[in-house]
Structure 1
Amino acid sequence: MSLHLKDLSVQYGRHPVLTGLSPAPIPAGSVVGLLGANGAGKSTLLRALAGLQAASGDARLDGEPLLGRGQPDRVGYLPQSLPQGSPLLAYEAVLSTLRATRPDLSAASAEQRIEAVFDRLGLRDLALRKMAQLSGGQRQMIGLSQVLVRQPRLLLLDEPTSALDLRWQLAVLQTVRSLTAGRSCLALIAIHDINLAARFCDRLLILGNGGLLADATPTDALTPEVLARAYAVEARVEPCSAGFPVVLADRALPV
């Protein structure tokens, strides 16, 4: 399994957002972080791959085209927006999503999947609570459950940790890493926390100026020069005690 993107371009009206994006093929089992400043195209890229945003070029998952096609059986997309605070129980919210996307599953199989995801994410205590009673972070976790329960081949996660405290941020990214390795699927994660991305991602795609500024491992992608181009900051990159790169931003640069 692999994801191939070639000459991928997206624009809003006449305004180009991404032009000629052609990263190296992404193999199965990979967790790839999408980094870049606000407006660099991270969410746009995920929406295009989810079939929700018009794009040109070529994008293929296992040789099958992705662009312009909603494929809920193969692609799981988590948007930035949180699930609504509805009267539905958290369990019901996940079940309704699973029924809509996988009507072929028996009731027993669906229940087994939901329980497995709730257990994996540590959400059993939320199962019988109404969505309207949950905090933003808790609803974000239910939104992630709605994606993971479908067992897609490609996970497209747009800021999946934005509403979470530090413990839950780590739990989510650990779960995504474990799932991608265990099921040989792929995950593309748009994320603002550079150091979390460096810790949990195999590879980083750093977007800026309408294209790719870097496509490499965290150690090779995160350089002071790339950070200056991507974020207009003066930064240092130092290894932590575990060997992962840590970005220390010193000051904003004039733009």
Structure 2
Amino acid sequence: MIRLDQISVHRGGQEVISHIDTSLDAGKIHVIIGPNGTGKTTLLRAIFGDLPLQRGRIALGERALAAGKTGNRALQAWREGFAYMPQDSTADIALTVLEVVVLGRLGKLDLHIDDETLNMAMNRLDNAGIAHLAGRDIASLSGGQRQMALFAQVLMREPKAMLLDEPVSALDLKHQIALLDLVRKETRRNGWVTVIVLHDLNLACQYADNLLVVADGVLKAVGRPLDIVTASLIGETYGVEVDVLHDRQGNPLIQPLALHHHVTQSERTGLIV
């Protein structure tokens, strides 16, 4: 479990995360949603220890990170429990895909990389559906392929908690589903605490066990998508009018209405084909 106790984060002299207090259970996917520039990535980076806490405390199991505790040794020890995949997936390095994935074991590697580690890396690439790219230079891959390779690297770290910032942003629909299915499978199997930032609200509602709605640095709502997602919540958070429907599994399905307000009856008739 990750416990956030009244955490606040300042950037540029302003409070961008304010008194967030919640628990994130192990074996579940926790998805952070909210408008651009309102603290989603900041929250993820704060959990990782990449941004110092102004106030509050974060705990992962028996480990804790508190405001004012920013020494290099303390941060290094804290981060050992995490695998963090930032949104920027550029990889301008002269390494093959297999070598990049093997680096996920950094800190556990000897001078000689044994067959067990190589086999583990190939297994992770196979899970991500890109084992055929193992010998390619990472810099030669498309954005989506790099995203999958970096996720395979995350899996190599065998963390207690997995932090993913927009992991499907460069992927087409098929590969978005493939990656998120794999995230869910590994989260359940390993009992990880998985925290993901997503912009796609419908993917968030489909995959989140627990949804965190963040706006203006404040946690507006938290809970199962089915319990908390309403037209009024989404409308107030994003400033748009929506309908909330449900898919065949019962997950909320968010349909924006803004377009319809600009289409007259005669224009609707003209659109019928």
SS in 2 for 1:101: coil
> Contact 1:72/1:101 (CA < 8 Å) preserved in 2?
no
Residues in 2 aligned to 1:215 and 1:128: alpha-carbon distance in whole angstroms: 43
Equivalent residues in 2 for 1:43-122, closer than 5 Å:
43-55=41-53, 56-66=55-65, 68=70, 69-70=75-76, 71-98=78-105, 100-103=106-109, 107-122=114-129
Displacement after TM superposition at 1:62 (Å): 0.7
Give the letter for the 1:95 counterpart. Answer: V
* Match of residue 239, structure 2, among 226, 232, 246: 232
Which runs of 5 or more structure 2 residues have no equivalent in the other structure? 262-273
- Bigger Rg, which one: 2
SS in 1 for 2:241: strand
Give the letter for the 1:209 counterpart. Answer: D
| Cα 1:106/1:93, change in 2 over 3 Å | closer
Displacement after TM superposition at 1:241 (Å): 1.8
> Contact 1:235/1:248 (CA < 8 Å) preserved in 2?
yes
Identity of aligned residues (%): 34
- For residue 182 of structure 1, what is the aligned residue in structure 2? 189
Give the letter for the 2:250 counterpart. Answer: G
- For residue 210 of structure 2, what is the aligned residue in structure 1? 203
Displacement after TM superposition at 1:106 (Å): 6.2
Displacement after TM superposition at 1:170 (Å): 0.3
Residues in 1 aligned to 2:61 and 2:243: alpha-carbon distance in whole angstroms: 38
Residues in 1 aligned to 2:52 and 2:82: alpha-carbon distance in whole angstroms: 16
For the aligned residue pairs, the C-alpha RMSD in angstroms reads 1.8
> Contact 1:72/1:152 (CA < 8 Å) preserved in 2?
no
SS in 2 for 1:19: strand
Displacement after TM superposition at 1:102 (Å): 2.4
* Match of residue 248, structure 2, among 238, 241, 250: 241
Give the letter for the 1:102 counterpart. Answer: K
> Contact 1:73/1:102 (CA < 8 Å) preserved in 2?
no
Displacement after TM superposition at 1:66 (Å): 3.6
Displacement after TM superposition at 1:74 (Å): 1.2
- For residue 31 of structure 1, what is the aligned residue in structure 2? 29
Residues in 2 aligned to 1:14 and 1:225: alpha-carbon distance in whole angstroms: 32
Displacement after TM superposition at 1:86 (Å): 2.7
Q: Spell out, residue by residue over 1:153-182, the C-alpha distance to the aligned partner (whole angstroms, 9 max, x if none).
A: 100000000000001100111011001110
- For residue 136 of structure 1, what is the aligned residue in structure 2? 143
* Match of residue 125, structure 1, among 132, 136, 145: 132
Residues in 2 aligned to 1:115 and 1:229: alpha-carbon distance in whole angstroms: 46
| Cα 1:162/1:115, change in 2 over 3 Å | same
Residues in 2 aligned to 1:219 and 1:14: alpha-carbon distance in whole angstroms: 37
Give the structure-2-normalised TM-score.
0.87
SS in 1 for 2:202: helix
Displacement after TM superposition at 1:95 (Å): 1.6
SS in 2 for 1:22: strand
Give the letter for the 1:165 counterpart. Answer: D
Residues in 2 aligned to 1:214 and 1:220: alpha-carbon distance in whole angstroms: 10
- For residue 42 of structure 1, what is the aligned residue in structure 2? 40
- For residue 167 of structure 2, what is the aligned residue in structure 1? 160
Give the letter for the 1:136 counterpart. Answer: G
Give the structure-1-normalised TM-score.
0.93
- For residue 222 of structure 1, what is the aligned residue in structure 2? 229
Q: What is the aligned residue count?
A: 250
Residues in 1 aligned to 2:108 and 2:44: alpha-carbon distance in whole angstroms: 22
